[in-house]
């Protein structure tokens, strides 16, 4: 629930409670006042009648009963409620009466004076209506006020929130947040700005470090490689030759690893922004042509189902993606099996038979995750594929079904 809705809800609850309490108070206070007033009136009326009787006047008022009583009854006066049937309205009505016994010169009289609770029900309903409309008005004003706050006071907050949602540490753009007059918001904005700037800076430093480290390694690797090459030109005995071959294969792995790391660093660096129209089918066919002999060497055939597909992407990265997926499929296909390649519409799929993964499927696209059986692999090829797809907003999925590994990309 939104903060504004929350506070509005409490506001309404508080309004209703306080108005209800106020209404009840008002009701009882009014009632008390009115009863006091009625009593005063009835007492006054009874007193008037007593005085008239004393002066020997005959008294006849509506709603007044006068009765001469025995002298033994002492003076008293009580107030009571009663119901009197009104034939005109055909209903009983609430009445309040004073029964007063008092002795005067003319004798001992019992007088009953009555009055209706005039419009008592109307009073209470008036109170209720009034308070109800007050509550309604307050709620309406509250809603309008929060809408106004939403627009004015909260607008920098929502603006900044939106910016943060879109914020990426890998972006070159510094985040620009809106300031506010509200101290809490201002502090929040300043801390967020600082946090964002720092994380961007650190991320950039890390990226540059990876890239520089990879670059710096290239030259020494080149030296090692060329020296090993030179050594292998000499007449060597089998043992030394074996050592050199092993050293070379180590260098080879390091070279590949370094190259892949560099590519990943560059992908993070968004070093390949230029995109062109690419005929994916042509590109794929060219790659397959190149691989013809490698496939034949592995006694593997590619069963190809390709329709013309055009995409808008970086050519180099698309090539890397295809070659990584192809070489991955070739590597894990046992001789004598077929690789299925499908390209049509917005979908590319490559399927190859093989044993199930010997590690969790979730790790497949993670860096340096590889089958323990394939120590020669860098474990970066599929991470690169994943990253390229991510950069192009393509959907890449892996599936293992009926003994087949299948990678599909939706462009």
Partner 1 sequence: MNAFIIEDEELLQEEISAYLTERGFNCEAASTYEKAERNISLFDYDIVILDITLPGGNGIELLKKMKREKKDTGIVIISARDSLTDKLSGLDLGADDYITKPFYMEELNARINAILRRRSLGINDIIRIDDLEVDTNAKTVFHGKTEITLTKKEYELLLYFIINKNRVVSKQSILAHLWGDEYADSESIDTIYVHTMNLRKKLVSHTGIDYIKTVYGMGYKWVQG
Residues that bind partner 1 (CB under 8 A): 215-216, 218-219, 221-227, 229-230, 232-233, 238, 241-242, 244-245, 248-249, 251-252, 255-256, 259, 262, 266, 271-272, 290-291, 293-294, 296-298, 316, 320, 323-324, 327, 330-331, 376
* β-bridge mates for residue 305, sequence order: 342
Closest distance of CB 400 from partner 1, Å: 21
CA pair distance 141, 217, nearest whole angstrom = 69
Closest distance of CB 339 from partner 1, Å: 14
Contact 4, 149 (CB under 8 A): yes
13/236 with CB nearer partner 1: 236
192/244 with CB nearer partner 1: 244
52/323 with CB nearer partner 1: 323
51/249 with CB nearer partner 1: 249
Closest distance of CB 259 from partner 1, Å: 7
Secondary element (H or E) of residue 249: helix 238-268
* β-bridge mates for residue 343, sequence order: 306, 348
CA pair distance 264, 213, nearest whole angstrom = 13
Edge to edge, the sheet with strand 107-116 lists: 64-68, 107-116, 91-104, 76-86
Closest distance of CB 159 from partner 1, Å: 36
CA R_g for the chain: 48
The DSSP code sequence of 95-162 is: EEEEEEEEEETTEEEEEEEEEE-TTHHHHHHHHHHHHHHHHHHHHHHHHHHHHHHHHTTSHHHHHHHH
121/233 with CB nearer partner 1: 233
15/211 with CB nearer partner 1: 211
Give the residue carrying structure tokens 């590519």: 263
Give the residue carrying structure tokens 């499927």: 361
Closest distance of CB 155 from partner 1, Å: 42
Closest CA to 324 of 372, 258, 377, 274: 377
360/372 with CB nearer partner 1: 372
Closest distance of CB 288 from partner 1, Å: 12
Closest distance of CB 228 from partner 1, Å: 9
- Residue 267's contacts (CB-CB under 8 Å, 6 or more residues apart) are 317, 384, 387, 388, 391
184/238 with CB nearer partner 1: 238
Closest distance of CB 226 from partner 1, Å: 4
Closest CA to 174 of 148, 202, 197: 197
98/302 with CB nearer partner 1: 302
CB neighbourhood size of 291 (10 A)? 20
Closest distance of CB 374 from partner 1, Å: 9
Closest distance of CB 405 from partner 1, Å: 16
CA pair distance 351, 326, nearest whole angstrom = 10
Contact 105, 97 (CB under 8 A): no
Closest distance of CB 387 from partner 1, Å: 16
74/335 with CB nearer partner 1: 335
271/391 with CB nearer partner 1: 271
CA pair distance 237, 348, nearest whole angstrom = 50
CA pair distance 124, 31, nearest whole angstrom = 9
- Residue 186: phi and psi, rounded to 5, are -65, -45
How many angstroms from the chain centroid is the CA of residue 271? 33
């Amino acid at each position: 629930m939104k903060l504004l809705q929350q506070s509005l809800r409490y506001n309404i609850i508080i309004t209703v409670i306080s108005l209800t309490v106020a209404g009840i108070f008002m009701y009882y206070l009014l009632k008390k006042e009115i009863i006091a007033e009625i009593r005063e009136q009835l007492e006054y009326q009874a007193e008037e009648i007593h005085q008239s009787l004393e002066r020997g006047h005959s008294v006849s008022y509506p709603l007044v009963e006068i009765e001469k009583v025995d002298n033994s009854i002492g003076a008293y006066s009580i107030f009571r409620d009663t119901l009197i049937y009104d034939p005109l309205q055909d209903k009983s009505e609430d009445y309040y009466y004073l029964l007063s016994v008092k002795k005067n010169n003319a004798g001992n009289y019992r007088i009953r004076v009555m009055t209706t609770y005039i419009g008592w029900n109307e009073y209470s309903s008036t109170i209720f209506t009034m308070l109800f409309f007050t509550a309604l008005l307050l709620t309406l004003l509250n809603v309008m006020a929060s809408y106004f706050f939403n627009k004015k006071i909260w607008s920098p907050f929502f603006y900044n929130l939106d910016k943060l949602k879109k914020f990426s540490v890998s972006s070159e753009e510094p985040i620009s947040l809106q300031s506010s007059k509200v101290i809490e918001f201002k502090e929040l904005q300043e801390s967020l700005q600082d946090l964002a700037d720092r994380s961007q800076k650190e991320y950039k430093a890390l990226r540059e470090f990876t890239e520089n480290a990879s670059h710096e390694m290239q030259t020494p690797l080149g030296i090692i490689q060329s020296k090993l090459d030179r050594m292998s030109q000499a007449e060597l005995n089998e043992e030394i030759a074996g050592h050199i071959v092993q050293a070379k294969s180590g260098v080879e792995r390091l070279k590949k690893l370094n190259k892949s790391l560099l590519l990943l660093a560059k992908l993070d660096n968004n070093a390949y922004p230029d995109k062109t129209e690419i005929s994916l089918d042509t590109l794929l066919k060219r790659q397959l042509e190149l691989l013809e002999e490698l496939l034949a060497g592995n006694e593997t055939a590619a069963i190809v189902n390709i329709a013309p597909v055009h995409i808008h992407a970086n050519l180099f990265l698309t090539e890397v993606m295809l070659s990584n997926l192809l070489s991955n499929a070739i590597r894990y296909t046992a001789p004598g099996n077929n690789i299925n390649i499908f390209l049509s519409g917005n979908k590319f799929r490559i399927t190859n038979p093989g044993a199930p993964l010997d590690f969790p499927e979730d790790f497949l696209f993670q860096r340096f995750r590889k089958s323990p059986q394939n120590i020669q692999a860098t474990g970066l090829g599929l991470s690169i594929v994943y990253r390229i797809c991510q950069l192009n907003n393509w959907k890449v999925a892996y599936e293992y079904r009926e003994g087949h590994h299948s990678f599909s990309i939706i462009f």
